Amino acid sequence: MKIKSDRHYFSVYGRAILPLLILITQSCSLIKDIEKPQAADLFYQLLLGSGANRIGVVSSDLGPSGRFSVMHPEGVAVPFFTSIHSDAMARYFNGRVFIVNRLGRDGIQVLDPQSAYLTVSEYSTGNASNPHDIVVTANGKGYISLYGKNNILVVQPESGAVIGSVSLAAYSDPDGYPEVSGLHAEGNRVFAAVQRLYRNDPFSTWPPVAGYPSLLVEIDAGSDTIVAAHAMPFSNPFSKLRRVDLFGQPHLVVACPSWLGYNFRIDGGIIAFNLATNSFKILYRETAAGGDILDVVIKNDSVGYASILFQDFSTAIQRFNPTTGARTGNLLFAPNWGRYVAGMLLTDDGRLYLGDSSYTEPGISIYDTNAGDLKLTPLPVPIGLRPTDLVYIP
């Protein structure tokens, strides 16, 4: 979900904590074309930046400029970057990094990890389509959720050639849009998180709509037809759909804050969708967290981490138990005067990466969840701009 400030649409974290960012908002009319690196830098970029086993970082000045850069898992940043949109997210599939450039750029940018993450292709998803996520299925089809349209675009993911479309108009709320956000591909199924928020409400900022529950829509990737729409126990699926093995079965986990930000209410939580039984389980409620839950990563049946936004717009990272739903600890607390966490990534070796969007020292903080959440970085690893999203590149 997005909110509008002047003519710029912020990332999901910027949208949730707009009062912290309003002073540095800039018009989208200032957005520059995507820049190519200088020829003199290419050798060093190829030498240092190419390769696998990297942490990809999307960062932004929350105005006209965005970057994609990489760091080594130990916390060594590569001093080069690829220019992207200021409001973007990243995905990795089949040896490529896909940058979803959202409203104002409205397209997909494809980067090659073996060539210093240079842009190898870029294509439009349509003016004002506001793409929000992309997934690539096992048979090579790409699915792109469009926040400003009523359909999911089906494409050849690297070239952008349109293969087809899946209409979700039947799942729109009264404003005429379904607000399709996160996607996940699982075998021959594609799952789409349908928020159903009322963008025309005169008193609230894109609130949930009574009688229109958020949905997890299930699509047959062979026929591109909808086979099921699963009603969620909470509204506003806000984070990425993350696949996690929980309680011995595969699940999709997502944070659903329901009423959010200016619309603050303690009414959401973290839910898990069982891919074997097609049923939901509530893992962590906002009543236990004490604030809006924006993001989540899960380590195992007893350990998860959640990003929390409080009513005064301070933020925190909490540890919780997915089995009992109890809060079990706090990693950090950020007051509401210029620091917040944007982007969470938990790798298989137990390292938790957090995007620390401090105004003065933005960067990536690393914790070892196998050593009692030991902080491995005394200061955030600097990556230039304020991080907004993280992706692992195997």
DSSP 236-275: ---S--EEEEETTEEEEEEEE-SS-GGG--S--EEEEEET
Q: Which domains does the chain have, with CATH numbers?
A: 125-231 (2.40.10.480)
CA pseudo-torsion sign 2, 352, 94, 279: negative
The predicted pLDDT at position 52 comes to 81
What's the pLDDT at 40?
44
58 vs 214: CA distance, rounded Å: 27
Alpha-carbon distance of 7 to 14, in angstroms, equals 14
Which portions of the chain are predicted below pLDDT 50? 1-15, 17-37, 39-40
The pLDDT tens digits for 156-202 are 999 999 999 999 999 999 999 999 999 999 999 999 999 999 999 99
Report pLDDT for 349.
97
Residues 79, 362: Cα–Cα separation, whole Å: 15
Question: Considering the entire predicted model, what is its pTM?
Answer: 0.89
What confidence score (pLDDT) does residue 48 get? 58
pLDDT for the residue 338: 80
**DSSP string for 22-50:** GGG---GGGPPPPPPPPHHHHHHHHHHH-
Q: For 321-340, write each residue's pLDDT tens digit.
A: 999 999 999 999 998 878 88
Q: 284 pairs with which residues across the strands?
A: 270
Predicted local distance difference test score (pLDDT) of residue 38: 52
- The 3-state DSSP composition of the chain as helix, strand, coil percent (nearest 5) reads 10, 45, 45
